[in-house]
C-alpha cells in the first residue's frame, strides 16, 4: 500500500470518528460553527499528511477531497448495482471505499439507492457571460456547503426495514469483532503478567546464587527497587546490590 493511500485512510478514519458532527443534522446542540471547527481539525491533519495543499482552507478538504473520494466509491456502488457483480476493478470495494460507506452510513438511503443522481462527478460550474447578472451568482463554496447540508439530512433520514436488517447484521458482526479484540487483549495481558512473574523468579534465584552480572531476563528489573513479598507477607528482598 502506498504512503498516500495510507494517509487517505487515516484522514477518512478521522472523518468517520467525527461523522456525528461533520454529517449530523443541524440542531441547537450542533451548529454550523461546530461543523466548521471539526472540518478544520480534519483539514489540519490532511495538510500535515500532505493530502491537501497547505494554502487551502478546510472547505477544500470538505468540498474537494471528501467529495472526490466519496464520488469514486459511489461510482463503484453504482456499477455493482447495474451489473450485479461484486468483483472486478470497477466494482470491488477496498478499505477506502468501506470507510466511505461507514461515513455515509451503510443503511443510508444514499447507499440503498433511494437517492438517484445520474452524475456524481459533475461539479458546479460558473460560465463567463457578459449579459449575466454576476450579483445573483452564488459562490461555489456556498453551493458546496448547501449540498453538504442536504446530504447530511439525507444521511440522517429514517432507514427502510431492509436498511434496519442490514444495520442489525452489521452491528452483530461489529460486536463479534469487539469481543474477539477484547479476548486478544486479555490473552496478551495474561502472557505479560506470567512473563513478569517468571522474571521475578529468575531474579530471586540469581540473588540467592549471588550472580553478580544480571542476565538478559532480569536486567530491566534491577534498574529499579524490587520488592517481593511471600504468601505470609514477609519481604524477601527490597533493593538490588
What are 151-199's pLDDT values in tens digits?
555 555 555 666 667 767 777 788 888 888 888 888 898 998 888 888 8
Q: Which pLDDT value is given to residue 135? A: 43
**Nearest-10 Cα torsion for 76, 77, 82, 87:** 60
- List pLDDT tens digits, range 83-97: 666 556 667 889 999
Q: Note the pTM of the prediction, 2 decimals.
A: 0.48
* Residue spans per domain, the chain: 3-124+138-173, 181-237
Count of CB atoms within 10 A of residue 14's CB? 17
Q: Give the pLDDT mean for 47-57.
A: 93
Q: Which pLDDT value is given to residue 224? A: 57
State the pLDDT confidence band at 79, using cuts at 50, 70 and 90.
confident
- List pLDDT tens digits, range 101-151: 999 887 776 666 544 343 333 343 433 444 444 344 444 455 555 556 555
**Whether the Cβ atoms of residue 24 and residue 38 lie closer than 8 Å to each other:** no
Amino acid at each position: 500500500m502506498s504512503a498516500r493511500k495510507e494517509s487517505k485512510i487515516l484522514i477518512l478514519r478521522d472523518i468517520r470518528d467525527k461523522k456525528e458532527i461533520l454529517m449530523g443534522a443541524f440542531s441547537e446542540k450542533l451548529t454550523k460553527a461546530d461543523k466548521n471547527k471539526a472540518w478544520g481539525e480534519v483539514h489540519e491533519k490532511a495538510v500535515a499528511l500532505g493530502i491537501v495543499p497547505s494554502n487551502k482552507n478546510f472547505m477544500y478538504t470538505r468540498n474537494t477531497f471528501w467529495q472526490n473520494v466519496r464520488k469514486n466509491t459511489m461510482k463503484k456502488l453504482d456499477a455493482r448495482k447495474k451489473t450485479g457483480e461484486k468483483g472486478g476493478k470497477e466494482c470491488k470495494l477496498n478499505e477506502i471505499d468501506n470507510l466511505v460507506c461507514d461515513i455515509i452510513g451503510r443503511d443510508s438511503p444514499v447507499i440503498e439507492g433511494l437517492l438517484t443522481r445520474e452524475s456524481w462527478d459533475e461539479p458546479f460550474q460558473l460560465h463567463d457571460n457578459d449579459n449575466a447578472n454576476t450579483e445573483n451568482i452564488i459562490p461555489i463554496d456556498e453551493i458546496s456547503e448547501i449540498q453538504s447540508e442536504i446530504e447530511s439530512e439525507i444521511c440522517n433520514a429514517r432507514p427502510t426495514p431492509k436498511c434496519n436488517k442490514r444495520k442489525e447484521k452489521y452491528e452483530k458482526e461489529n460486536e463479534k469483532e469487539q469481543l474477539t479484540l477484547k479476548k486478544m487483549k486479555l490473552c496478551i495481558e495474561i502472557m505479560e503478567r506470567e512473563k513478569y512473574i517468571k522474571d521475578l523468579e529468575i531474579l530471586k534465584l540469581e540473588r540467592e546464587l549471588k550472580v553478580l552480572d544480571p542476565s538478559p531476563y532480569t536486567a530491566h528489573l534491577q534498574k529499579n527497587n524490587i520488592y517481593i513479598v511471600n504468601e505470609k507477607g514477609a519481604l524477601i528482598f527490597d533493593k538490588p546490590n
